[in-house]
Homo-oligomer: A and B are copies of this chain.
Amino acid sequence: MSQDINTAPASGTRDFLPNQLRLREKVFQIVKDSFESFGFQPLQTPAFERLEVLTGKYGDEGEKLIFKILKRGEKEQSGEADLALRYDLTVPALRAFANHRQELPTIFKRYQIGQVWRADRPGKERFREFTQCDIDIYGTAAASADLEILLVINQTFRRLGLNNHLKIHVNSRLFLQEMANAYRIPTHTAAHIMVILDKADKIGMDAVAQQIVQAIEQQGIAHQCQDFLHDMTQKNAKHLVVEKVGQQENGRKIIHDIQWLIQQVQLLQPNTKIVFDPFLVRGLSYYTGFIFEVFSEENKGALSAGGRYDNLSRTLIGHDMPICGGSLGIERIILLLEKTWQNTDHQQQTFFLTVWDQNMLAVTTQFAQELRLQGLHIYLDLSGKEMKHQLKFADKNGYRFCFIIGPDEITNQQVVVKDLVNQKQEKISCKDYRQVAQYLKKLVELQII
């Protein structure tokens, strides 16, 4: 009878209670509807993969965060792992696509909303179990596929009512390469500069410029990179860099492609804030073409990000395949929506049916059954307590409308509907269940007797 039993979920994980879960599921449904409207199709992979599917994909830091599963039976004693919980959705989805290529279209548009697990240090808004939400287009290098990723992501934010505060930043890995070429920055220095640029949204452009100057001076190539250092330290650095890259035929083509994407989004989804951000890098190493991030005014980190990655498939399916995709930071989005969406208590849509006494149980349950068949949600009291206790329970747990069926009501084929918020009540006829249901559905809409 000890009260010391620890009932908390494992560190970094969460139990979701009904109202939280309903909000999450509502968000997921809107996102799914948006993806489906573009013809994306759902694909689901298992929670765990053979260990070798995941190793070597996420870099040293990522690899440390993989949850590994112990071998079973006699092999448990070895202390070795052969399976691992998925770290993201991207790698397992690509494995699954490779495994089912014969059954799937050559150009395949998939989406998945699913949990991933990372043994990160748990913290505020950082969990070890969280949901990711991905779309990808496999098998085409067409610019129209890149455009579609931007359109569907933007459309999804619109459906969620979040678009007013968002700004989409677009760039291309090809532009960053061309920038290094145009300024004659050596390859290994370029890689270092990318790491610094990637911090721009966290530390600001001034600090970025300063760190770049330092890095180049430390490498003793300041003279060689004179033009670059000059341009980077100007207020209009972005403008100057684009101008420089645009002086070459190849650079012009890359800039044109980025601008085409931006123009198309502006044309097709007017009033979208979307900009060419020549210093956008995206941390992950696997991108090969266009990249994007979506920022909100409220949040520091990106709410969505993605791009084209044509090489990642090499280790998984044995050859390169053009892929572009994007991911919604769905946990961050849910946090934003939890603040802005009206907290609609679902219980207000469920009617609480009291039980007058045990002799009335059968007829009361009958009434519940009939209304359920009409599509209503009916909570039948199960406490067996007195009426006032039943009503107190209903009130405490957020049920607004209650029914009472007593002997008088039986005689007159009526039922009392009580509004616990307004403390009003009225009698309605229950001769025709369909009419009763219509009346009650209206009550739920209007939320008032």
Contact = CB atoms under 8 A, between A and B. Distances in A.
A340 interface: no
A297 interface: no
B99 A9 contact: yes
Contact of A107 (B10, B69, B382): B382
A379 B147 contact: no
A331 to B, nearest CB: 14
Nearest to A129: B46
Interface stretch (A12-20, A188-196, A208-216, A300-308): A12-20
B73 A70 contact: no
B42 A22 contact: yes
B64 A68 contact: no
A318 interface: yes
Interface string A1-28: 1111111111001111110011001000
A393 interface: yes
A311 to B, nearest CB: 13
Chain A interface helix/strand/loop/mixed: mixed
Interface stretch (A78-86, A227-235, A249-257): A78-86
Contact of A372 (B4, B81, B105, B155): B155
Nearest to A52: B6
A369 B268 contact: yes
Nearest to A93: B15
A366 B393 CA distance: 54
B72 A67 contact: yes
A273 interface: no
A122 interface: no
What is the oligomeric copy number?
2
A145 interface: yes
Contact of A70 (B22, B46, B69, B267): B69
A264 interface: yes
A44 B16 contact: yes
A178 interface: no
Residue with the greatest number of chain B CB neighbours at <10 A, chosen from A44, A64, A264, A319: A44
B37 A318 contact: no
A96 interface: yes
Contact of A68 (B6, B22, B76): B76
Interface stretch (A136-144, A198-206, A276-284, A428-436): A136-144
Interface residues of A, number: 104
A420 interface: no
Interface string A42-74: 111111111000000000000011011110110
Given A7-B316, A43-B16, A267-B362, A378 B103 contact: no
Nearest to A94: B7
A355 interface: yes
A397 interface: yes
Given A47-B117, A318-B3, A382-B107, A78 B76 contact: no
A380 interface: yes
Contacts of A336: none
Contacts of A115: 47
Contacts of A148: 380, 382
Given A9-B46, A15-B96, A15-B100, A38 B1 contact: no
A400 to B, nearest CB: 13
A151 interface: yes
A162 interface: no
A407 interface: no
Contact of A142 (B10, B42, B375, B383): B383
A161 interface: no
Given A47-B129, A67-B72, A155-B369, 19 more contacts: A1-B318, A1-B319, A10-B46, A10-B49, A10-B50, A18-B43, A21-B44, A25-B42, A36-B350, A38-B378, A39-B380, A47-B85, A67-B70, A70-B70, A70-B79, A78-B79, A142-B384, A144-B361, A144-B384
Closest 3 CB pairs of A and B: A79-B79, A39-B379, A13-B46
9 contacts: A18-B42, A37-B376, A67-B69, A70-B79, A105-B397, A144-B365, A144-B380, A147-B365, A269-B369
